[in-house]
Amino acid sequence: MQAAGYDIDKVVEKVAAVLNIKPSEVWAPGKQRRRVQARSLLCYWAARELEISMAELSRKLKISPSAVTLSVWRGEKIALDDGHKLI
Query: What is the pLDDT, as a whole number, of residue 85?
Result: 93
State residue 87's pLDDT score. Answer: 84
4 Cα distance to chain centroid: 18
Q: pLDDT > 90: what percent of the chain?
A: 91
What is the rounded distance in angstroms from the CA atom of residue 31 to the CA atom of residue 37? 9
Instruction: List the chain residues with pLDDT less than 70.
Output: 1-4
Q: What angle do CA 1, 31, 55 make, to 5 degrees?
A: 40
Q: What is the pLDDT of residue 33?
A: 95
Domains of the chain and CATH, by start: 2-82 (1.10.1750.10)
Give pLDDT, residue 2.
58
pTM of the complete model: 0.92
